[in-house]
Structure 1
Amino acid sequence: MTTTVKTKHRAMWASGDYPAVASELVAPLGPALVQAVGIGRGQAVLDVAAGTGNAAIAAAQAGATVTASDLTPELLAVGEKNSPVPLTWVEADAEELPFDTASFDAVISCIGVMFAPFHTAAAAELLRVCRPGGSIGLANWTPQGFIGQMFATMKPYAAPPPPGAQPPPLWGDPEHLANLLGDGVTDVRVERHDLRVGHFGTAAAFRDYFKHNYGPTIAVYRNIADDPARVAALDAELVALAERHDVGGGAMNWEYLIYTARRAD
Structure 2
Amino acid sequence: MWASGDYPAVAAHVIPNLGAVLTQACGIHAGQRVLDVGAGSGNVAIPAALTGAHVVASDLTPELFDVGRQMANARGVDLEWWEADAESLPFADGEFDVVTSCVGVMFAPHHQDSADEMVRVCAPNGTIGLINWTPTGFIGRMLAVMKPYAPQPPPGAQPPPLWGDEAHVRDLLGDRVTDVVARRDVVRVDRFDGPGEFRDYFKTNYGPTIAVYKALNDTEGAAGTADAADKAAALDAELVDLARQHDVGAGSFAMDWEYLLFTARKRG
Q: TM-score range by the shorter chain?
A: over 0.9
Tell me if the contact between 1:76 and 1:91 (Cα under 8 Å) persists in the aligned partners: no
Which residue matches 1:9? none
Deviation, 1:241, is: 0.0
Deviation, 1:191, is: 1.2
Q: Give 1:109-148 correspondences, 5 Å limit.
A: 109-148=101-140
Q: Which amino acid aligns with 2:234?
A: A
Q: Give 1:20-35 correspondences, 5 Å limit.
A: 20-35=9-24
Which residue matches 1:94? 86
CA distance in structure 2 between the aligned counterparts of 1:76 and 1:169, rounded to whole angstroms? 25
Which residue matches 1:6? none
Which residue matches 1:221? 213
CA distance in structure 2 between the aligned counterparts of 1:121 and 1:17, rounded to whole angstroms? 28
Deviation, 1:56, is: 0.4
Which residue matches 1:233? 234
CA distance in structure 2 between the aligned counterparts of 1:90 and 1:224, rounded to whole angstroms? 33
Deviation, 1:62, is: 1.1
Which residue matches 2:150? 158
Identity of aligned residues (%): 62
Deviation, 1:173, is: 0.1
CA distance in structure 1 between the aligned counterparts of 2:176 and 2:147, rounded to whole angstroms? 32
Q: Does 1:253 align with 2:245?
A: no
Deviation, 1:82, is: 1.7
Deviation, 1:256, is: 0.7
Tell me if the contact between 1:145 and 1:255 (Cα under 8 Å) persists in the aligned partners: yes
Q: Does 1:262 align with 2:261?
A: no
Which residue matches 1:55? 44
CA distance in structure 2 between the aligned counterparts of 1:76 and 1:122, rounded to whole angstroms? 21
Deviation, 1:208, is: 0.3
- Structure 1 vs Structure 2 CA RMSD: 0.7
CA distance in structure 2 between the aligned counterparts of 1:116 and 1:180, rounded to whole angstroms? 14
CA distance in structure 1 between the aligned counterparts of 2:71 and 2:206, rounded to whole angstroms? 20
Q: Which amino acid aligns with 2:254?
A: A
Deviation, 1:264, is: 1.2
For each residue in 1:199-241, what CA deviation from the matched residue of structure 2 results, as whole angstroms up to 9, or x when unmatched? 1111000000000000000000011124111001000000000
The alignment's TM-score, normalised by the length of structure 1, stands at 0.95
Deviation, 1:184, is: 1.2
Secondary structure in 2 aligned to 1:99?
coil
Tell me if the contact between 1:18 and 1:214 (Cα under 8 Å) persists in the aligned partners: yes
Secondary structure in 1 aligned to 2:179?
strand
Which residue matches 1:199? 191
Which residue matches 1:173? 165
The alignment's TM-score, normalised by the length of structure 2, stands at 0.94
Q: Which runs of 4+ in 1 moved over 4 A?
A: none
- The number of residues matched between the two structures is 254
Deviation, 1:150, is: 0.3
Deviation, 1:27, is: 1.3
Deviation, 1:63, is: 1.4
CA distance in structure 1 between the aligned counterparts of 2:66 and 2:106, rounded to whole angstroms? 21
